[in-house]
Amino acid sequence: TIMIFVLLTSYGISHFNMYLMPTAMVGMLITILLRAESAIIINTAIAILISILLEGNLGIGIMSLCGGMVGIYIVDSPEQRNTIVLSGIGVGIANALSIVGIDLMGTTTYSTTLITVLYGIGGGFLSGVLTVGTLPVWENLFKVITPLKLVELSNPNQPVLKRLLMEAPGTYHHSVIVANLAETAADSIGANSLLARVGAYYHDLGKLKRPYFFKENQLSRDNPHDKLNPTLSTHVITMHTKDGIDIAKQYKVPETIQAFIVEHHGTTAVRYFYHKAKSQDESVKLEDFRYSGPKPQSRETAIVMMADTVEAAVRSMTEPTPAKIEDFIHKLIREKLEDGQFDECPLTLSDLNTIANSFSSVVTG
């Protein structure tokens, strides 16, 4: 769709001046929305197609190829929309150098070359402007979450995050620490650290519905669970994942982030209430005290699951030391592994060890 859009736009602009065509935007858009490797292939194809459309104009093909490659290099993993506009200047310079190089091999006059160079720079700038202008359309049309979108979602002024801060401050603080742990761990194994951080910010949105039922939001010694039977308490606790999805949909949080809400507990059991119920009735089953899942499907959601567990558990340790913290973190992750929570995500045992060491260094600090 992007190829067709860029080809039609470029062909229309070519009737005014062919050096003003924003061909580089195809590579820039695909780099941001998908990956640079795909963008390189598509950019090469566009350069060839543009040459054919303009009756075999080799100069335009070379300019499109060089400008597109520069644009791809500059916008790879951008975190500010300004980067894309600035990349347009880089594309314009590449266009200008390509034009000068081609004209030097011909008999074009200096004044004609100068005018052409100015159009080439304009084409680069136009590529940047159109990329920024149309990016939200592609993001929403194809439900693609880009680094730029993630940066926007991480802004504390997002309405749902502001609500979390006001109504469940303990959960907000917990989420920020989980985000720090998750980002560092994701970096250590080459996963998407920005996605892990933003997912951690939103993973406990469901606690907004009944914030006082969660320990981190209880400002006094009163605990409402003391007045409930263990089965009902388990239902209240485990429902926060489903409640979170409802709130996320209400605030139009992307599906990629919603995955963190439903997967960060997987199918783990609420063992405290299970043992409490077991002491009252021997016939209760552990399966009745589990979250509904699904288990983590990606490395990032699995990392947030571990970070969530580690943050809550280590905070409750008495007399923590670096050695005790490290052993405890490895034990917590090993329990998740033995419970089968990582069966559906592409994490290796080596990854788990690296993640545990990363958590230890952050928590100790």
Side chain identity, residue 278: K
Judged on CB neighbours under 10 Å (0-12, 13-18, 19+), 308 is buried
Long-range pairs for 57-65: beta carbons < 8 A, 24 or more residues apart: 57/18, 58/102, 59/98, 59/99, 59/102, 60/18, 60/19, 60/21, 62/98, 62/102, 63/19, 63/95, 63/98, 63/99, 63/102, 63/120, 64/21, 64/23, 64/24
Q: What is the pLDDT of residue 80?
A: 76
pLDDT per residue over 302-335, tens digit each?
999 999 999 988 888 888 899 999 999 999 999 9
- How high is the pLDDT of residue 222? 81
Give dist(CA 162, CA 155) in Å, integer: 10
pLDDT one digit per residue (tens) for the chain, 365 residues:
999 999 999 989 989 999 999 999 999 999 999 999 999 999 999 999 999 988 888 889 999 999 999 999 999 877 777 888 889 999 999 999 999 998 888 767 888 889 999 999 999 999 999 999 999 999 989 988 998 899 999 999 999 999 999 999 999 999 999 999 999 999 999 999 999 999 999 999 999 999 999 989 888 778 888 888 899 999 999 999 999 999 999 999 999 999 999 999 999 999 989 888 888 888 889 899 999 989 999 999 999 999 999 998 888 888 889 999 999 999 999 999 999 999 999 999 999 999 999 999 999 88
Residue 194 DSSP one-character state: H
- 133 vs 202: CA distance, rounded Å: 27
Which pLDDT tens digit goes with each residue over 192-249? 999 999 999 999 999 999 999 998 988 877 888 888 889 999 999 999 999 999 999 9
Residue 119: is it exposed, middle or buried by C-beta count within 10 angstroms (0-12/13-18/19+)? buried
Percent over 70 (pLDDT), the chain: 100
| 104 exposure class (CB count in 10 Å sphere: 0-12, 13-18, 19+) | exposed
- What is the residue whose two structure tokens read 């926060």? 240
Structure confidence at residue 221 (pLDDT)? 72
- Cα maximum dimension of the chain: 95
